Structure 1
């Protein structure tokens, strides 16, 4: 008989397991129900004679099982089913079954309707396909665990208790099957990913899988040079090396030799028919190794790499990971209730910083022992809000100093940012801080980008082509002119954070490091760096400045005033990967920030704002928008020579047609220049401009070939608004738009063809939502 511990399942997993077995055994379909307070039904089989109710019970022993079943008796009598079936993870004797049957007379017709542990395992033995579905069951089997302990090759750090604990909280996902496929094809695999994503857990699951297939486990610690002592041609063996490129690896004097040994060992494994090798590493360290050791690139060992990222964690899998940890942790019920109330668990499941390691850290620290039940959720959420513990070690120990500073520079820039702008800012950082003892090197910059790729950052290339592999080509050509506001950025490379929690970590990392903040400030060259990082008061995600730092900001502004530029990228249409620089607006936002937050604290900054806004007023090309109008409303206009008509005209001429007009901002000018405004909107000139833009709108509607319904309706709304608020008669244009709208044929929707895919997605989401609610409802007792 199979020797499996069914209590390795959580209650919800055992429920799913029981359902699959009974549906196969009874050859029926069993209904599930929307979760709520347990009414004695997990599943139901409907027949002409009446309903058959099935309940699943996961307990450690018969005493606990019996106590639970006694509470079910009144519910079952109320439901009065035709028949009642029970499955349980507890092993049952004939007397145990008889006692249960007597409790539920006459609804349990026979003791055969009571499926104990052995009964379920017998069914499982007859259905190998179902057994394969639940790899969590067999990788944690008693036989496999004994093999780990008894293996004469066992040079492993694993312990029985730790293994069992990890397997219990493990949630099956597609990374396991993907890894099996890679191992089958290549006989080795490199599992890489960011810290805390589940690399070691996946490794252990794979090890246990192959132990169940009679492979001998061999752990390769630091003594890989003695690998031949472990090799045994007559046995099936699986070797593994967790974190095989750890931070200490690069300090090893014989690093090149060790790389050679690893690659040669991979070759040995592939030559054998009965050997497997699993390696894990952090993605940035693998990238670093490829830069340092040419042999890595030549041998192309990444061919068998499986990168784990957060995309494998669907909302349902996230919920199951959280649930399994909570269920097996022995947390007091009063604390769990605080998490379940108001569906607080959903905040954690949907959190942008979700990471399994955060959950593991919470459980290991047993934080419920140091907080009241009423604050349990708040304390957990604080871990998610500040994931510093997840990233700090990787930042301080696994990347070199150049890469550390590059990340801090990235923190001062908007995201995404052009890689050229990041390089410019990084070069400025090292040039202006020679005391750090690091000279800027463009080759080192590219190495750092590769080192950080997929761990701290992602690089994205607009358009259909590749990403980071084109970096050297771009740099060799010489890059592109980032000062051109009309720059076509198709095919260019952008840098963004790999995970939002990295930004949070860097923010918290800098909070108490004034010297580092000073170094950063000394190097600022983009306007976004000032207002992305600093604030006098503590606004959301900004760093406080005292008077000394405000004076330093003023000094830096004056030092680079004539060379300030923007690196802000605006995504026009994310569906087509189009990006552009937006001229003007970022600078007005910058002046607004300086005026609102810093000008009261430093006269030089106030004068900077007035001086630069005066320059903008005298320009023939500046952009007029809501931020510009805000500045007009704040500043003392007596300090400027104002041509109101020029402002009005430029505001209108900047737009081509009605849809481009920022009417709400234009109307704010009425409060700033009340007399001039009223005269202007009453003028023939204003009327002619509006009529011309209305004609352009009609040309679009009539001549575009393809009618964009939403835009046509928008035109109509705007024309009506102008007619009402500016006393300009645009009725003839509104009539023409109405004719266009009346000609639009709205096709009848073919439900099966057009909506079936959407409905499937909605139904799947609803089903997942039901399962998630059921998960956490089961934590309530």
Structure 2
């Protein structure tokens, strides 16, 4: 087994060393606060009076010659002064037999034999033994970066996007600092199976969610990154009811809040949350910005009924304690590639305290100000000013880099990614980029290569990340979510630029995102008409010729009362309702437009609905469809039959998923089998059927009764297709969680109680 000690900072390595010696010699090791140690990183007692000393050197990337020089010139004098009865030396470097002999000779007689000298290979050998796994698990970062855990993570990630998400999470885990928020989150997730982590941007929600995801995935849960696609998650849930699955959704609702609520996805989300809460074989981790969650709560009665803001599975990430902030800052500095003169700036006059105690301290800003690739051409003498500016005005943290250290072409790739809702495939980004070059004036400046391949290499790892999502397929996402915040804030009035970006993207995803931005006031509403008219002028004829109905529906629904597009919108609606079997997936929006648009559309027949109702699978679209059929007195037998089928399918799914909250325990009693001598369950099948029927009838109260009568809909048909026996058997199965709820699964989540920030930063 190989462990990656490079992921540990020096303080973490000292803690690991103490755990190893404690387990090896079965004794208690005292660990002293960080700082000037006088040659002591740990102390233990042999008997009552004989003192043993541990000294650690985390010189992972330092040459052996530098290590031995330091031991001879600095550490030997300290050891002589301490005069311990036993001295144990531990390093993360690989040591040869000759190296050990040399170290032994340096520290004689304090080191008594080579077994008291531990190198990288000795640590790996110790930690690989099964009986020592408790030491590994107590040192979270070491455990999470071990080869065995990495294999588990990749193997347990559901193929596709989830596999690449878990790889990306793992690559960042070495910067993680376990804080009290981790303890609280772990407890909530264990007890409730669901957690929503909320807080201000950059406070560390995603980082905490990522590391909780790693923890559970490594412990046997399959990892599924659902990206708000609840339908995908529901399907996966039904296919794997017996498996342990961790569902993960970063930036829950996010900028799509209005889309989620107006398209009635909130009911899907709440039902899925409730389903997970009742199933101990599943976990659900979500993150959401505080303002987004509050807005969703104010707009959605479904979220209000769930009491999502005061529920036991909600954890608001508060400001970190000063000691936690110190650990975060120290860890980022330790793992940064900052030149020494820049690090000295942070240490000068204990400047790290000013950073830690700044009102705007958060992990995202710390990541930014310690990233050497972002700092660029800043000189060390200007570095402190740069740090303060970043802390004082975090909303413009990307301004200097974005506007001064990039060109129009790198910015173009960033714009295209931002306005495609933060994610875009490489093929699609290339096409959009080439279109943008043709339609938008750019400063070509020098004769450098402006091809997509050349520019994307410049943008990658500075403003964009390039992730592989399949065989020779790649996807681009923002290097940091705050880039979108900056772009939307800085360029929201650049209407020509915005319109040309959306023309270049030419996708429903981007149009949906535009709708969201306008409704969320990220783009001034004053410009709504101008943007819509511009895009309608550009897209209308081509999309009509291509019969791209869903795109036109998405674009039209931005503002159906805009006089400038009224005539063309009326023409489009008349074309779609008379087209030969049109098809699409935006039935809810289409029915909304047809119902609300003035002048009223006159229908010759309703055959245009055939291709739009094939696969309706959500409650709100079904309700709107039934209301539309009733309002227009539709008697088309094919449509009515299809509605009946869709209702059957949908209601059967909510029964199978127990969204009706059937309490099977009320209908099961235990009777004693005297012949075999044990209790066996006695199930009242009729009672269960009656409860299902009653709950179905109650659920259907919100559906159009006229249409239910017209199609002679009967809940008896649903009941006849339900396998009650399998549901009872599943209910009787006892799901036991794999973790001890009191022991945190054997992980050490405690933090130092020391309040000495200076000691952490002592060099």
> TM-score, normalization: structure 2?
0.48
Greater relative CO, 1 or 2 (CA 8 Å, sep 6+): 2
> TM-score, normalization: structure 1?
0.47
Higher gyration radius (CA):
1
